[in-house]
């Protein structure tokens, strides 16, 4: 088997390929720094770890464990497979062995909790009883778990719906609760993360009534400022441990950019098969599709004998890559084509095991997979990993890249860029991945829309007293007044009471943003497939929308907003859809602001009126535009948070932007800034919106707004404000570095522009951003 450098050479050998590699980062092997077991760790426990092959802990594991043991909440933010679980298992299991101390382990998915349970069962530590407590746990087993578990594995939804509302039955458990483990805590972001943050505040309050004050142990992927995100999540200060001392193999990490396609306006099938040539909106150049490029690379790797997984976003994409790869390999060597398969979510356990076995044995060499593989299947010993497009966050990127690595051999990881500003920026600015992280996990528990239902739930759990108010954050006094006015809570001498007969916890679904969720129903069978957040429904499940749900592709037949139902049918049309909206915006309040010379940067509250007006159909895989259909949907009013910046007219003139160019330049800068926000905040461009104008009635100046897409905000705009120097510099770079002449999807064109990406001026946008950044500080603005 070839080492990573040779594999990469195989990929770049074909004509025209070499200049598609924008960067190669060799992440060197690291030996790992083992340390002695701390004295306080139970001796039986050491023996058990030794029995499963852990002779000594790595130093970061002991550092984190020691904080927790000493009663300090801690976040361990280190790489994939760095053994974060030992950091919480050492204190949790030692405490369990010493007496009645209990641990609550919270994970975002059942699959992860199941993995953890298997690991604990393999350890078989005497006197430690581990039980899961989730929606699938049978009633009898729930009673056993409640009475006896010293290590309870659950999730935020169960905490919210079951454990906290029924805390009287959990009294013994909560009284003895010493540690709360929050695994994969970077997953708690945006609105969902904000809800979970409030659930954890409720947990802390109820524990206090039982006389316990649990220590939080958080496990996170590496991000910027894990201690800040971690503290926001649990509501109390946490120490960060980031010095990863686990061993790893060498990885060659290549950043790959598919080529710009030439000429013709209409799509034609190229002679070499599979590949399509086309032009985008207003004749913008398009790049070769990420999927076609990924399939080409997968073919070459399989032909070279490398075991490779290609990660894509949907089952549809997985099937496309597998089909393209097989048809490329077939004519060369039919037996190779048989070694390629697609893999998706929803396989049964035995199907997964069969696939694992085939990959291990080498009867299967190339797999195109959705992220299902990330959590569901254990594949070690891959030679290479391909990633078709930025997977959304650094954490996901390293999780996917971390799949590659044969003992002592090293591995190849290749990120293939999609045609958008973020991907383009990342492959051309390797520091974004390999340098100090700027992407922070973002949440906003103080959002009144999130807070209100949790104050009700908390009051139902135990009347809220004046002393409790601070725990729930600075918005709580005001939200309590409004809840009392709306007669959801009753104010009495001793505090606030929930006196209604319904369950307060049912007021909110942790995964939604308030309002009732839109149900996704299969028309032919009446089967309920899932739900869609109402904040996103107009844009994602309008009639005619192509909607991907858990990797499966559906077409929406009708959307009934009054009934809250979208009727869909399974179908794989040759196109995808993107909704376009038009927005107006009113400033309500300014929270914070800063002057950068003449430019003013503000974070505050806004009221956004937006209407989805049409949707665009693009050819699947190539992005070529097939047409645009109008939609008739009501306007939505959204009170949310925004970051905005203004420039005076004379400053624009000085920067060489004529009066008539100003709105066009602002429009282009707004699009690119939205596309680049995920660089600094864990969101995607669909979580945020924007608006720009040469003269806004509230500011009376040229203004560019970027706002959160959820009622009350989700923390993304706020993070944009705080990281504005990095964010806007990267935005400027992304536009300036793009080789197109007049704007394209890689720089200033936006897939959701309600004005059809017209007019845009990329040169003006660069000048405008230069003017904004002229007096910007080098470092983030901070709080
Ligand atoms: Zn461009
Ligand atoms: Zn636009």
Does the pLDDT of residue 265 top 50, yes or no?
no
Per-residue model confidence (pLDDT) at position 756: 86
DSSP collapsed to 3 states, 74-104: EEEECCCCCCHHHHHHHHHHHHHHHCCCEEE
Q: 259-273, 326-340, 346-360: which has the highest mean pLDDT? A: 326-340
Distance CA 464, CA 457 (A): 10
pLDDT higher for 610 or 783?
610
Distance CA 653, CA 223 (A): 40
Q: How far is the CA of 609 from the centre of ligand 2 (A)?
A: 15
Q: How far is the CA of 757 from the centre of ligand 2 (A)?
A: 5
Distance CA 432, CA 270 (A): 34
pLDDT confidence tier of residue 402, bands split at 50, 70 and 90: confident
Does the pLDDT of residue 761 top 90, yes or no?
yes
Does the pLDDT of residue 348 top 70, yes or no?
no
Per-residue model confidence (pLDDT) at position 347: 65
CA distances in angstroms from 82 to 275, 407, 677, listed in the order given? 40, 15, 29
CA angle, residues 376, 380, 381, in degrees to nearest 5: 150
Q: How far is the CA of 668 from the centre of ligand 1 (A)?
A: 11
Q: How far is the CA of 430 from the centre of ligand 2 (A)?
A: 28
CA angle, residues 403, 82, 49, in degrees to nearest 5: 115
The ligand with the least distance to the CA atom of 766 is 1
Distance CA 702, CA 760 (A): 15
Distance CA 237, CA 73 (A): 7
Distance CA 122, CA 83 (A): 16
**468-484 pLDDT, tens digit each:** 999 999 999 999 999 99
In terms of Cα–Cα distance, which of 304, 270, 237, 276 is closest to 11? 304
Task: Please state, for a pLDDT cut of 70, what percent of the chain lies above it.
Answer: 93
Beta strands in 133-194 (DSSP E): 151-154, 177-182
* Torsion over CA: 428, 430, 432, 433 (sign): positive
pLDDT higher for 414 or 686?
414
Q: How far is the CA of 720 from the centre of ligand 2 (A)?
A: 19
pTM over 0.95: no
How many CB atoms lie under 10 A from the CB of residue 483?
Answer: 24
Q: How far is the CA of 758 from the centre of ligand 1 (A)?
A: 14
pLDDT confidence tier of residue 533, bands split at 50, 70 and 90: confident
Using DSSP's 3-state secondary structure scheme, residue 124 falls into coil
Give the pLDDT mean for 209-233: 93
Distance CA 428, CA 294 (A): 18
CA angle, residues 494, 499, 502, in degrees to nearest 5: 150
Q: How far is the CA of 765 from the centre of ligand 2 (A)?
A: 13
Q: How far is the CA of 428 from the centre of ligand 1 (A)?
A: 13
Q: How far is the CA of 755 from the centre of ligand 2 (A)?
A: 5
Q: How far is the CA of 285 from the centre of ligand 1 (A)?
A: 8
The residues placing their C-beta within 5 Å of ligand 1, an ion, are 738, 740, 744, 746-747
Helix (H) or strand (E) holding 667: helix 662-676
Q: How far is the CA of 18 from the centre of ligand 1 (A)?
A: 21
Q: 136-140, 200-204, 244-248, 623-627: which has the highest mean pLDDT? A: 200-204
Per-residue model confidence (pLDDT) at position 262: 64
Report strand pairing: 74-77 vs 239-241: parallel
How would you label 214-235 residue by residue, b for 16+ Cβ within 10 Å and e otherwise?
bbbbbbbbbbbbbbbbbbbbbb
**582-611 pLDDT, tens digit each:** 899 999 999 999 999 999 999 999 999 999
Does the pLDDT of residue 200 top 50, yes or no?
yes
Give the pLDDT mean for 720-744: 93
Q: Which of 161-170, 311-320, 338-347, 559-568 has the lowest mean pLDDT?
A: 338-347
Per-residue model confidence (pLDDT) at position 276: 40
Q: How far is the CA of 735 from the centre of ligand 1 (A)?
A: 7
Q: How far is the CA of 121 from the centre of ligand 2 (A)?
A: 55
Q: How far is the CA of 614 from the centre of ligand 2 (A)?
A: 13
Distance CA 60, CA 82 (A): 9
Give the pLDDT mean for 522-544: 88
**101-110 pLDDT, tens digit each:** 999 999 987 7
pLDDT confidence tier of residue 269, bands split at 50, 70 and 90: very low
Does the pLDDT of residue 206 top 90, yes or no?
yes
Both structure tokens of 53: 């092959």
pLDDT higher for 382 or 293?
293
Task: Please state, for a pLDDT cut of 90, what percent of the chain lies above it.
Answer: 62
Q: How far is the CA of 748 from the centre of ligand 2 (A)?
A: 9
How would you label 60-97 residue by residue, b for 16+ Cβ within 10 Å and e otherwise?
bbbbbbbbbbeeebbbbbbbbebbbbbbbbbbbbbbbb
Q: How far is the CA of 485 from the centre of ligand 1 (A)?
A: 52
Per-residue model confidence (pLDDT) at position 231: 95
Does the pLDDT of residue 379 top 70, yes or no?
no
Give the pLDDT mean for 726-738: 94
Per-residue model confidence (pLDDT) at position 374: 55
Give the pLDDT mean for 288-306: 94
Does the pLDDT of residue 370 top 60, yes or no?
yes
Does the pLDDT of residue 772 top 50, yes or no?
yes
Does the pLDDT of residue 135 top 90, yes or no?
no
Per-residue model confidence (pLDDT) at position 378: 56
Q: How far is the CA of 15 from the centre of ligand 1 (A)?
A: 25
Q: How far is the CA of 436 from the centre of ligand 2 (A)?
A: 32
pLDDT confidence tier of residue 12, bands split at 50, 70 and 90: very high
Q: What is the mean pLDDT of the chain?
A: 89
Q: Which of 63-77, 112-126, 295-309, 761-775 has the lowest mean pLDDT?
A: 112-126
CA distances in angstroms from 76 to 95, 155, 215, 221, 305, listed in the order given? 19, 19, 14, 8, 38
Distance CA 157, CA 149 (A): 19
Q: How far is the CA of 573 from the centre of ligand 2 (A)?
A: 27
How would you label 378-402 residue by residue, b for 16+ Cβ within 10 Å and e otherwise?
ebebbbbbbbbbbbebbbbbbbbbb
**Alpha helix ranges (H) inside 253-404:** 290-303, 315-329, 334-337, 349-361, 372-376, 394-401
pLDDT higher for 270 or 67?
67
Q: How far is the CA of 673 from the centre of ligand 1 (A)?
A: 14
Per-residue model confidence (pLDDT) at position 264: 36
Q: How far is the CA of 750 from the centre of ligand 1 (A)?
A: 11
Quick one: angle between helices 476-485 and 448-461, nearest 10?
Answer: 70
Does the pLDDT of residue 273 top 50, yes or no?
no
CA distances in angstroms from 260 to 288, 295, 317, 417, 418, listed in the order given? 6, 17, 21, 12, 12
Give the pLDDT mean for 735-747: 90
Q: How far is the CA of 285 from the centre of ligand 2 (A)?
A: 18
Q: Phi/psi at 299 (nearest 5 deg)? A: -60, -50
Distance CA 691, CA 763 (A): 19
**636-653 pLDDT, tens digit each:** 999 999 999 999 999 999
**74-90 pLDDT, tens digit each:** 999 998 778 899 999 99
Give the pLDDT mean for 557-573: 92
The ligand with the least distance to the CA atom of 760 is 2
**Nearby residues of 213 by Cβ (< 8 Å), 6 or more positions away:** 204, 207
Q: How far is the CA of 280 from the centre of ligand 1 (A)?
A: 11
């Amino acid at each position: 088997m070839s080492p990573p450098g040779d594999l990469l050479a195989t990929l770049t050998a074909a004509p025209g390929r070499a200049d598609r590699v924008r960067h190669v980062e060799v992440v060197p092997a690291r030996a790992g720094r083992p340390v002695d077991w701390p004295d306080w760790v139970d001796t039986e426990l050491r023996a058990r770890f030794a029995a499963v092959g852990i002779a000594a802990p790595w130093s970061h594991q002991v550092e984190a464990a020691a904080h927790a043991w000493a009663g300090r909440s801690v976040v361990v933010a280190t790489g994939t497979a760095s053994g974060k679980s030992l950091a919480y298992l050492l204190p949790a299991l030692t405490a369990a062995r010493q007496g009645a101390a209990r641990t609550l382990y919270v994970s975002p998915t059942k699959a992860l909790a199941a993995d953890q349970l298997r690991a604990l069962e393999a350890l078989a530590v005497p006197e430690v009883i581990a039980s899961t407590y989730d929606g699938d746990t049978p009633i009898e087993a729930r009673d056993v778990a409640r009475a006896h578990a010293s290590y309870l594995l659950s999730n935020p939804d169960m905490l919210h719906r079951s454990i906290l509302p029924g805390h009287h039955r959990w009294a013994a458990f909560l009284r003895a609760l010493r540690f709360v483990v929050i695994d994969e805590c970077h997953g708690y972001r945006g609105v969902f993360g904000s809800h979970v943050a409030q659930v954890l505040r409720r947990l802390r309050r109820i524990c206090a009534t039982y006389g316990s004050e649990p220590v939080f142990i958080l496990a996170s992927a590496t991000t910027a400022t894990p201690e800040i995100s971690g503290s926001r999540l649990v509501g109390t200060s946490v120490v960060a441990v980031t010095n990863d001392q686990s061993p790893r193999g060498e990885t060659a990490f290549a950043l790959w950019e598919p080529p710009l396609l030439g000429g013709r306006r209409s799509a034609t099938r190229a002679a070499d098969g599979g590949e399509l040539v086309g032009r985008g909106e207003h004749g913008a150049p398009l790049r070769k599709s990420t999927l076609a490029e990924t399939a080409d690379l997968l073919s070459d790797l399989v032909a070279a004998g490398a075991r490779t997984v290609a990660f894509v976003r949907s089952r549809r994409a997985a099937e496309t890559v597998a089909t393209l790869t097989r048809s490329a390999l077939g004519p060369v060597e039919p037996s190779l084509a048989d070694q390629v398969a697609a893999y998706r979510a929803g396989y049964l356990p035995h199907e997964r095991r069969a696939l694992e076995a085939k990959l291990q044995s080498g009867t299967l060499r190339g797999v195109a997979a959705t992220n299902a593989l990330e959590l569901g299947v254990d594949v070690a010993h891959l030679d290479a990993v391909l990633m078709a497009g930025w997977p959304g966050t650094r954490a996901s990127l390293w999780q996917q890249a971390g799949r590659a690595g044969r003992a002592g051999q090293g591995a190849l990881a290749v990120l293939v860029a999609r045609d958008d500003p973020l991907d383009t920026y990342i492959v051309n600015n390797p520091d974004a991945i390999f340098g100090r992280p700027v992407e922070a996990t973002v949440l906003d528990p103080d959002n009144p829309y999130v807070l209100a239902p949790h104050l009700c739930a908390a009051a139902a759990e135990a009347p809220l007293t004046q002393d409790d108010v601070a725990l729930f954050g600075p918005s709580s006094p005001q939200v309590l007044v409004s809840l009392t006015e709306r007669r959801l809570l009753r104010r009495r001498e001793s505090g606030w009471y929930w006196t209604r007969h319904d369950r307060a916890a049912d007021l909110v679904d942790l995964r939604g943003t308030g309002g009732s969720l839109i149900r996704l129903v299969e028309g032919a069978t009446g089967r309920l497939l899932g739900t869609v957040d109402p904040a996103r429904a107009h844009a994602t499940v309008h009639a005619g929308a192509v909607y991907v749900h858990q990797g499966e592709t559906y077409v929406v037949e009708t959307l009934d907003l009054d009934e809250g139902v979208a009727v869909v049918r399974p179908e794989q049309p040759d196109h995808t859809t993107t909704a376009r909206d038009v927005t107006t915006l009113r400033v309500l309040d300014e929270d914070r602001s800063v002057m950068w010379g003449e430019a003013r940067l503000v974070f505050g509250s806004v009221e956004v009126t937006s209407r989805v007006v049409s949707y665009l159909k693009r050819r699947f895989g190539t992005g070529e535009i097939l047409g645009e259909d109008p939609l008739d949907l009501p306007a939505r009013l959204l009170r949310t948070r925004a970051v905005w910046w203004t420039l005076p007219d004379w400053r624009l003139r000085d920067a060489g932007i004529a009066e008539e160019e100003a709105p066009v330049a602002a429009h282009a800068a707004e699009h690119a800034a939205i596309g680049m926000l995920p660089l600094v905040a864990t969101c995607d461009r669909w979580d945020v919106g924007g608006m720009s104008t040469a003269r806004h009635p509230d500011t009376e100046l040229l203004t560019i707004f970027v706002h959160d897409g959820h009622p009350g905000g989700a923390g993304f705009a706020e993070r944009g404000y705080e990281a504005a120097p990095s964010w806007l510099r990267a935005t400027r770079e992304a536009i300036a570095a793009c080789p197109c002449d007049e704007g394209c999807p890689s720089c200033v064109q936006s897939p959701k522009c309600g004005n059809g990406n017209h007019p845009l001026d990329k040169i003006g946008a660069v000048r405008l951003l230069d003017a904004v950044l002229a007096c910007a500080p080098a470092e983030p603005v901070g709080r």
